[in-house]
Amino acid sequence: MKHIGTILHISPHGKLIVQGNPNFIPKLQTRVCTKDKKIIGSVKDVFGPVKQPYLSITVSNPSKVEELLSSDLFMYTSGKRKRNK
């Protein structure tokens, strides 16, 4: 799992705003999970300065968003590798 950042707050539109990891910026629509691999949503937008980017995360279960504040988020990987053909 690659660390993508730490949750800062919830936007008025219900999205999580994450202070991104400048060493790894995920692609849009990348699935995002907690440390225990619980998928919470996907990357909707990347914005801000290149040296300290921010991410907007669309949450799949908005009722549990408050519990996630200040949590670290990771890029979800299924553990399966693609085979070369």
pTM of the model: 0.85
Residue 23: give its domain's CATH number. 2.40.10.230
Q: What is the pLDDT of residue 43?
A: 96
Distance CA 41, CA 55 (A): 12
pLDDT, tens digit, 9 for 90 and up, residues 31-65 = 999 999 999 999 999 999 989 999 999 999 888 78
Q: What is the pLDDT of residue 44?
A: 97
User: In this predicted model, which residue has the larger pLDDT, 79 or 38?
Assistant: 38
The answer to the question of residue 82 being in a domain is no
44 contact partners, CB below 8 Å, separation of at least 6 = 15, 28, 56, 57, 58
Q: What is the pLDDT of residue 85?
A: 58
Contact 40, 34 (CB under 8 A): yes
Structural domain of residue 40, as residue ranges? Answer: 2-75
The answer to the question of residue 59 being in a domain is yes
Contact 42, 30 (CB under 8 A): yes
The answer to the question of residue 21 being in a domain is yes
Which pair of tokens denotes residue 7? 């949750």
When divided into structural domains, the chain yields a total of: 1
